[in-house]
Structure 1
Amino acid sequence: MDNREAIGSWLSGPRAAAQEMGADFGHRGKRLGLPEDGPGSIAPVGRRVGALFIDWALCALIAFAFLAGRRLEAANNWALVVFLVMSVLTVGTVGCTPGKRLLGLRVVSLDGLGKLPLWRTVVRTVLLGLAIPALVWDRDNRGLHDRLSGSVQVRG
């Protein structure tokens, strides 16, 4: 083994090194019993971020419409409130926010891949509002807010 090969394995990270030694991680969602691709597979990160952007823009428009002529900071705070309420109502009833619906995503419970119960939707939304849990992911691309609520975002 020359130095380039050793440095290359070090730079590629522990997952690549473990795979070279024979570890099989499988596809994202395999541990959860989800398919590799198609409906019911783990939602791609790009679509999830896109859905979040769409939802946030919609909530900001609603907040600005109701607070026209007031301070911008107040509208930003109200946009977060609108976002949290919208998330609880839409994910708790139909399983997806408007942004997720437009991009073909949904939030399901891991118990039976059905709709997430309302109390778990509230837990998920509160953690999502804190932002930090949504930035901590596992190898299945599930944020801490999804793990603690027993949910997963999948393709519709």
Structure 2
Amino acid sequence: MVDRRDIGSWLEGPRARTSAPGEYHGQRLGMPLSGPGSIAHFGRRLVGVVIDWLLCLLIANALWGVGWQETGGRSFIPLAVFAVENLLLVGTLGTTIGHRVVGIQVRNVAGGRAHLLQVVVRTVLLCLAIPALIWDRDGRGMHDRVANTVIVNVR
């Protein structure tokens, strides 16, 4: 029988079955259980990316007249705006507008801000979408794992 523990809450994301009892996201990386510096949960990350995506759609519509249901070659303009937003803001501030609203930040796993190469790799994989949907035991998407970054709470 499949129950809630097997699939997890939609706000927390699925839990890996290989984690030991009492283990939490980020423990293996030396992150605290909660508070600033702890791994951001799925719900916060989802709200942040939705805010960013809506802003990118608005910008694409305002500057290039790309509609909400655009098809053809112009349908990738919002994705390009999203990529530029991530490259510029995460590369300089460590956070996008959506991240800042929900109180999360992208950091290097070793500590401190992510380096430019990490931001580029992370952004390219994030724009492919599928890597962001594959998570490890620490709750990091494949795009963060490959780039050696982590999204943490700042408040």
Q: Do the structures match in fold with TM over 0.5?
A: yes
What root-mean-square deviation, in Å, do the aligned CA atoms of Structure 1 and Structure 2 show? 2.6
The code of the aligned residue for 2:39 comes to: I
Match of 2:145 among 129, 144, 147: 147
Paired-residue identity, %: 46
Q: Which residue of 2 aligns with 1:78?
A: 77
Distance 1:69 1:129, change over 3 A: closer
Q: Return the offset for 1:68.
A: 2.3
Correspondences of 1:1-156 after superposition (within 5 Å): 23-24=20-21, 26-68=23-65, 72-73=70-71, 75-111=74-110, 113-156=111-154
The unaligned stretches of length 5 or more in structure 2 are 7-14
Higher helix proportion, which one? 1
TM-score, normalization: structure 2?
A: 0.83
Q: What is the count of residue pairs matched by the alignment?
A: 144
Q: Return the offset for 1:18.
A: 7.2
Say which one has the larger Rg. 1
The answer as to whether partners of 2:91 and 2:115 remain within 8 angstroms in 1 is yes
Q: Which residue of 1 aligns with 2:11?
A: none
The structure, 1 or 2, with the larger RCO (C-alpha pairs under 8 Å, 6+ apart) is: 2
Task: Write the distance in 1 (CA, Å) between the matches of 2:78 and 2:90.
Answer: 17
Task: Write the distance in 1 (CA, Å) between the matches of 2:84 and 2:153.
Answer: 23
Task: After superposition, give the CA deviation of every residue in 1:125-150 in whole Å (9 maximum; x if it has no partner).
Answer: 00001111101001111000000000
Runs of 4+ with >4 A deviation: 10-13, 15-19
TM-score, normalization: structure 1?
A: 0.83
Task: After superposition, give the CA deviation of every residue in 1:34-67 in whole Å (9 maximum; x if it has no partner).
Answer: 0000000010100100000000000000000012
The unaligned stretches of length 5 or more in structure 1 are 1-6
